Structure 1
Amino acid sequence: MAVYVDDAVHPWRGERWAHLMADTLDELHAFAALLGIPRRAFQDRASGAHYDVTSAMRARAVALGAVAISRHHDREQVRAVIANARRQGRGEAP
């Protein structure tokens, strides 16, 4: 099982943001807690179950063992991770 963090490319409130996703929701919530992200920040949407993280949090996540994935270089892996996050967001089993 793994936790993933994509490229920090989404500008908002003066920061660049990335998505923290995982193979399972339990892993995702546990890793977010490790980063100090409150559960209320969880986004359970049709676009995919994830937490938004700043570029600084992204770097910390990678240092703690999250797999950095790039929409530019790891397209197939990114598609698979996002598809899994979408299934999780709809309440489907991984």
Structure 2
Amino acid sequence: MLYLDPPAVPWRGRLWSHLISDVSFAELHAFAELLGAGRRGFDRDHYDLPAERFRVAVWLGATVVPSREIVRLLRDAGLRRPKPRAARLPGRGSGEAAQLPTQVGAGPVLPAGVRLG
């Protein structure tokens, strides 16, 4: 079965929903293709669906659920793919000072598009 939450996540001037399947990723990809949602909208275990496609998704058979149900449904189906946790610095939470890189040019790796300063 396919589920989506109401469009409530703002990003780039639009509101977005999360579209999931509790059956398989194949079902999810097929439904997204039917909606005209490109694979770019797929994020690990769901599609980010713009608000303007919400009514069509419901008309095609997706069930609307509260946002908090999306993760529960994915977990129950065994389809949850959470984001990887950021690497922890040594010493965090242990009272020790973290060992930071000391050589010139060494430093933390930042996500694409993120700049310091």
Q: Same fold (TM over 0.5)?
A: yes
TM range (shorter): 0.7 to 0.9
Q: Which has the higher strand share?
A: 1
Amino-acid identity (%): 40
Higher RCO (CA < 8 A, seq sep 6+) = 1
Code of the aligned partner of 2:26:
D
Alignment length (residue pairs): 81
54 and 40 in structure 1: CA distance in 2 versus 1, 3 angstrom threshold: closer
Shift of 1:83: 2.1
More helix by share: 1
> What residue number does 2:40 align with?
40
Quick check: 1:83 aligned with 2:113? no
Q: Deviations over 1:16-52 (max 9, x none)?
A: 10100001111100000000112233111xxxx0010
**Residue segments in structure 1 that go unaligned for 5+ positions in a row:** none
Q: In structure 2, which of residues 52, 55, 62 is the aligned counterpart of residue 56 of structure 1?
A: 52
- The answer on whether the counterparts of 2:20 and 2:70 sit within 8 Å (CA) in structure 1 is no
| TM-aligned CA deviation for residue 86 of structure 1 | 7.1
Which SS does the other structure have where 2:17 is aligned? Answer: strand
RMSD: 2.2
* TM-score, length basis structure 2: 0.60
Q: What letter matches 2:75 in structure 1?
A: A
Q: Secondary structure at the match of 1:65?
A: coil
User: In the alignment, what sits opposite 2:98?
Assistant: none
Indicate the structure (1 or 2) with the bigger Cα radius of gyration.
2
Unaligned runs of 5+ in 2: 83-117
